[in-house]
Amino acid sequence: MSFQKFISNAISEWMNGDGQDADIAISSRVRLARNLRDEPFPMLATDSQLERVIEQVEQAMEDEAFKTRNHFEMIRMEALTPLQKRVLMEKHLISPNLLADSRKGAVILSENEAISIMVNEEDHLRIQCLFSGLQLKEAWEAADGIDDIFEKHVNFAFDEKRGFLTSCPTNVGTGIRASVMMHLPGLVMTQRINQILSAINKLGLVVRGLYGEGSEAVGNLFQVSNQVTLGQSEGEIIENLAGVARQIIEEERVARQNLMRNHRLQLENRVCRSYGILTNARIIESKEAAERLSDVRLGIDLDIIHGVPLSVMNELMVMTQPGFLQQYAGQQLTADSRDERRARLIRERLQSTIE
C-alpha cells in the first residue's frame, strides 16, 4: 500500500453507499480520545515527548491482533505538503486541528480507510472509525477493538471518578464522540429543519457542518453528534444517538413524501435543472456545486434520476473540494482555475455513469 493511494483515490469505504439508510445517513463515525498517562498532553509537550508517544504507538502496532484487523500505515504529518494534508482532511481521515497544527503529528490509516488513528492531535490518540450509512454500533465495536489493543501496550490517563482524561474537558469521561452525517434536503425545503435542530439540541446533542466543529452545513449536509461524554456509558451514548438519528431519518422521509405528493413538478424541475447544470457547466463554485449535488442526490433517492449510484455522489462530495482538485491537477490552482476544473470533473464523472 502506498501513501499516494490515500491521496489520489477519492473513494473510501464509508462512501460506498451500502449501509443501512445510506440514502439519508451518509456515514457513521465513532472517535475515541485517549492520552498516555506518563506524557504531557500534546499542547504542553515538547517535541521529544511527542516523539516518545509516536514510538510507543508504533510498538503497539506490532501486536498481532492489530495486524490481523487490516493493513495499516503510519504517515508523519511533517513529511506531507500542506496540500496533501488538506486532501486527507477533505476525505475525513484527519481533523482540521491536525491540519492546522501538525507538530510531531501523525495518522495511522487502514487500507480501506475505515479506520484512522490520529497521533498527537489535541490528544495523544484519536481513534476514528467511519462506516457507510447508519452503522453506529458497528463503528463503536471497531473503535473499541482498536482501543483494547492499545490498552495492552500503553497506560492511558484514567481517573476512577472522572474516567479517561482529555485535553478538552468536554471529552472527559468516556472520551467518545459519535456522529452521523445526514443529508436532509426535505427538512430544509419544507422549512422544518430549524424545528428539528432545536429539538436535537434539547436532547443533549449538537449539529455541525460537513467538517465538524466550526464548519458550515452546506449542501444540506449535517453532522449530528453527542455532547455528553461523562455520566453515560459508551453503549448508552451510541444507542441514544442512533435512536435520534432514526427519528430524523423518518422525519426526512415524511418531508420527501410530502414534497413528492404536493410539489412534484417543482421538485422534479429543481432536480433536473441541477442535473442539467452539473452535466453542462464550464465553471462552478464550491458552494453551488454542493447545492446542485444535493439536488441530484435527492433526485436519485426519489427515482427522478436513474443510473447514477449514490457512491458517485459521495465521491464527488470529496473530489470537488479545493485540496483534492489541486492534488488531482498536480499543481496549485487559482480560485478561477479550481472552478473550471471542478465543473469539468463533475461533467466527466456524471457522464461516465451513462456510458
Q: d(Cα 255, Cα 252) in Å, to the nearest integer? A: 5
Q: Cell for 334?
A: 487559482
Tell me the residue type at 151.
E
Query: Which residue, 103, 102, 174, is CA-closest to 140?
Result: 174
Report the C-alpha dihedral over residues 314, 318, 319, 325, rounded to 10 degrees: 170
Q: Is 311 annotated as a binding residue?
A: no
- Residue linked to cell 453506529: 136
Q: d(Cα 215, Cα 321) in Å, to the nearest integer? A: 14
Q: How far is CA 159 from CA 96, 166, 169, 235, 347, in A?
A: 29, 11, 13, 20, 54
Q: Is 178 annotated as a binding residue?
A: yes
SS3 163: strand
Q: Is 31 annotated as a binding residue?
A: yes
Q: Is 211 annotated as a binding residue?
A: yes
The angle, 0 to 180 degrees and rounded to 10, between the axes of the packed helices 310-319 and 335-352 is: 160
Query: Which residue, 318, 285, 312, 320, is CA-closest to 296?
Result: 312
Q: Is 76 annotated as a binding residue?
A: no
Q: Is 212 annotated as a binding residue?
A: yes
The angle, 0 to 180 degrees and rounded to 10, between the axes of the packed helices 82-90 and 322-329 is: 130
Q: Is 30 annotated as a binding residue?
A: yes
Q: Is 180 annotated as a binding residue?
A: yes
Q: Is 25 annotated as a binding residue?
A: no
Q: Is 338 annotated as a binding residue?
A: no
Q: Is 246 annotated as a binding residue?
A: no
Q: Is 213 annotated as a binding residue?
A: yes
Q: d(Cα 64, Cα 146) in Å, to the nearest integer? A: 12
Residues forming the annotated binding site? 27-31, 92, 126, 177-181, 208-213
Residues forming the annotated binding site for ATP? 27-31, 92, 126, 177-181, 208-213
